[in-house]
Amino acid sequence: MIEEKMLVLLRQGKISKWFSGIGQEAIAVGATMAMQQDEWIMPLHRNLGVFTGRNMPLSKLFMQWQGNKEGYSKGRERSFHFGSKQHHVCGMISHLGPQLAIADGVALAYKLSNQQKASLAFTGDGGTSEGDFHEALNVAAVWDLPVIFLIENNGYGLSTPTNEQYRCSSLVDRAKGYGMGGVQIDGNNILEVFDTIKGVREYCIKHQKPYLIECMTFRMRGHEEASGVKYVPPHLFEEWETKDPVKNYEHYLTRQNILSQSQIEDIRKETKAHIESELAIAYQAKPMLVDTDEEVNDVYAPHKQQITTNHTPATEKRFIDGIQDALRLSMQKHPNLIIMGQDIAEYGGAFKITEGFVQEFGKDRIRNTPICESAIVGASLGLSLEGYKAVMEMQFADFATVGFNQIINNLAKIHYRWGQNADVVVRMPTGGGVGAGPFHSQSNEAWFTKTPGLKVVYPSTAADAKGLLIAAINDPNPVIYFEHKALYRSVSGQVPNDYYEVEIGKANIVQEGDDITIITYGAGVHWALDYAKNNPQISIYILDLRTLLPLDYDAIEEAVAATGKVLLLHEDTLIGGLGGEIAAWIAEHCFTYLDAPVMRCASLDTPIPFNIELEKHFMAYSRLAELVNKLMRY
C-alpha cells in the first residue's frame, strides 16, 4: 500500500524516482523479519520491506523520498540510496556489487567479537555478474564468515533477461564453487522465505560459515517507473500475477481461519489511515535552506587531533621503520584495529613492513587476503560499521584501480550521504626510481585528491611517516596514505620513540629562503633538498605539503609570499597532477605576491618506463635544474 501511494505521488511530481518492489515484497519482508533487529542488512532498490521491517518512521521515509532535509540523508540522496546506523541498514550505492563486501566486514566484526550474529546482503540476478559478487563470496568462504548472500532473481537486470546474463542453470549453483552451502527457494512465499532465512541464519552463526540463497521472483513493474515494461512478454505478467505474494498470503491466512476478510479490510483501512497521517507529517517538513558551511563540514566526520610537541628521546630510524613503529604502536593501543592485505601475515608483506606482526598480534588481526582489492576495501568499511578500525595495504598503489569504486563511491561519500563514518586507512606503496615499470611505479595520488570525503597523506621523512600514520589510524575518516617505495630504506632520521601524531592538513617548512619557493611532497622534498645543497648560491624556500587533501592553504600562501617565485615539484605526470590545482589557487589568491609565473616541474606525460635510463628521463627531477634556472631569470 505504501508503494501504491508512492506511485501516485510520482505521477503528481511530489517524488522524482521510484523503484517498485511490487511482486517481490515477500523477500525483503521475510528476510528482515528472520534477522535480529540489531543485525546489519545491506538492501538494494526494491527492498522497501527492509526499511519498514526495521520500523523506520514512515513520515521520515516520506521526507527522504521527497528530498527533505529532515529525511535520512538531509536531501543528499534519492530513493533507497541511504542508510541508518540506528536501524542497522547500510545505504546502497548504484554500483550494486560493493554492498556484498561490506556484509563481509560486518560479519568479520561479529566473528572477532564473538557475537552470535550474522549479516545479510541483497543482490539481484544482474549484480551476480559483477566482480564484487565473486570477490565477496570468495572472501566470506575463505574467512568462514557468518554472512547470508541473498539473490533476488526476478528474471531481468533492468531489461536484460537472465538468458543473456549467465549460462549456469541456476545462480545458486555458484555456491558450490565458492565452497559454501546454497539453496533456491520460492521468493514469493513469505513463509518459505522467513523459514529458510531463519534456519540459514542459525546455521551461519553455529558453523561460522556463509550461505547463498537464490529467491525466484518477478517484478511486476519496470526497473524503475520511467523504464517501463515493454521488453517483458505479456504472458509473464499473467503467469506471475497468480503468484502474487501478498494476495496468496492473504488467501492462506483466510483458509487457515487466522484472518477473516473483514479483518483484512480493517487492516487495510488502518494502514491507509496510517500512511495518510504520516504523509501529512512529511508535508510539514520545512523548505530546504542551503547552508554552505554545513554542506562542506558534513563531508568529514568530526575529529579533533591530539597533537603533542614534547617527545621522549628519539632514535635514528629509516622511513620504513617509522611506518612499522606506527603500525605496531597503533595495534597495541587499539584492540579493535585490524590490518589486512596480500601476504602481510607470515610473509611480512611485499616490503616486510609487517614482518613479525602475526606472531605478536595473531592471524585474526593480521589478516592475509585473497587477491581481491575491492572486497577488502569493502570489508574494511563493514568493520567500521561495527566500530572497528581497519588498515588495508594495497600491495602497490597501482593496484588501487581494482578497488577504486569502493574507495571513491563508498568510503569517500558515506559520511556525507547518511552520517556513517569510514574508519579506514588504505596504505599505498607508491612511486618510481626502483625500475619496476608501468604497473608498480605510478604516482596516482591525484586520482584521489579530487574526491571529497577522502584525506590524502604523503610523508617524506621517517618521523612524519610515523606521526602521520598514527594520526591517520586515529582519524575516523578514510585516509589514503601514500608511502614512497624508494624512500623506505634510503631515507632515515631522528624518530621520537613515543606514540605521537603529526597533524593531518598541516604542511611543514623544510627550510626558508629568499630567491625561490619549491612546493613539493614525498620524494620531491629530497630532490629539492639535494638541489639546494648542490646550488648554495640560490636561497630556496622548501615547503613539504605532507597532506594533499585537505591542503594547507595558509602555508602555501606564506611560502608564495616569502619569495614571489614559485615552482611546484612532484613526481606525478604534468597533466592532471596536483601541481596544476595548486598553481591555479596561487594565481587566484596570491597574484599580488608573484614576481614570475607559477611553474611546474613534473614527470613526462607517459606511462612510467622500466629501463633505468628511460625512467630517469621520465622523472621530474631530470628537469628540475632547467626550471629553477628559468624561474630565476625572471
SS3 279: helix
Task: Give yes or no for residue 78 having a pLDDT over 90.
Answer: no
CATH fold, domain 508-632, is: Rossmann fold (3.40.50)
Question: What is the reported pLDDT for 551?
Answer: 98
SS3 311: coil
Angle at 106 between CA 101 and CA 108, to 5 degrees: 95
The arrangement of secondary structure in 315-496, i.e. its CATH architecture, is: 3-Layer(aba) Sandwich (3.40)
Q: pTM of the prediction? A: 0.96
pLDDT, tens digit (0-9, with 9 covering 90-100), for 231-269: 999 999 999 999 999 999 999 999 999 999 999 999 999
Q: What is the mean pLDDT of residues 190-217?
A: 98
Question: What is the reported pLDDT for 166?
Answer: 94
Question: What is the reported pLDDT for 349?
Answer: 96
Task: Give yes or no for residue 168 having a pLDDT over 90.
Answer: yes
Beta bridge partners of 429: 483
Q: How confident is the model at residue 42 (pLDDT cuts 50, 70, 90)?
A: very high
Percent of the chain at pLDDT exceeding 90? 96
Question: What is the reported pLDDT for 310?
Answer: 76
Q: What is the mean pLDDT of residues 596-620?
A: 96
The three three-digit cell numbers of residue 215, written as one number: 529467491
Is residue 484 among the annotated active site residues? no
Q: How confident is the model at residue 107 (pLDDT cuts 50, 70, 90)?
A: very high
Q: How confident is the model at residue 631 (pLDDT cuts 50, 70, 90)?
A: very high
Percent of the chain at pLDDT exceeding 70? 100
Task: Give yes or no for residue 309 having a pLDDT over 90.
Answer: no
Q: How many CB atoms lie within 10 A of CB 214?
A: 23
Q: What average pLDDT is seen over the chain?
A: 96
Q: What is the mean pLDDT of residues 588-607?
A: 97
Q: Do domains 2-285 and 315-496 have the same CATH topology?
A: yes
Q: What is the mean pLDDT of residues 175-193?
A: 98
Question: What is the reported pLDDT for 411?
Answer: 98
pLDDT, tens digit (0-9, with 9 covering 90-100), for 85-105: 999 999 999 898 999 999 999
Which segments of 54-113 does DSSP mark as H helices, in order? Answer: 58-66, 98-112
Task: Give yes or no for residue 146 having a pLDDT over 80.
Answer: yes
Kindly name the residue from 45, 440, 526, 570 that is annotated as catalytic: 440
Question: What is the reported pLDDT for 17?
Answer: 87
Question: What is the reported pLDDT for 306?
Answer: 86
Q: Domain boundaries in the chain?
A: 2-285, 315-496, 508-632
Q: What is the largest CA-CA distance in the chain?
A: 98
Q: How many CB atoms lie within 10 A of CB 290?
A: 8
The arrangement of secondary structure in 2-285, i.e. its CATH architecture, is: 3-Layer(aba) Sandwich (3.40)
Question: What is the reported pLDDT for 308?
Answer: 79
Q: What is the mean pLDDT of residues 161-171?
A: 93
Question: What is the reported pLDDT for 557?
Answer: 98
The contacts of residue 252 (CB under 8 Å, 6+ apart) are: 191
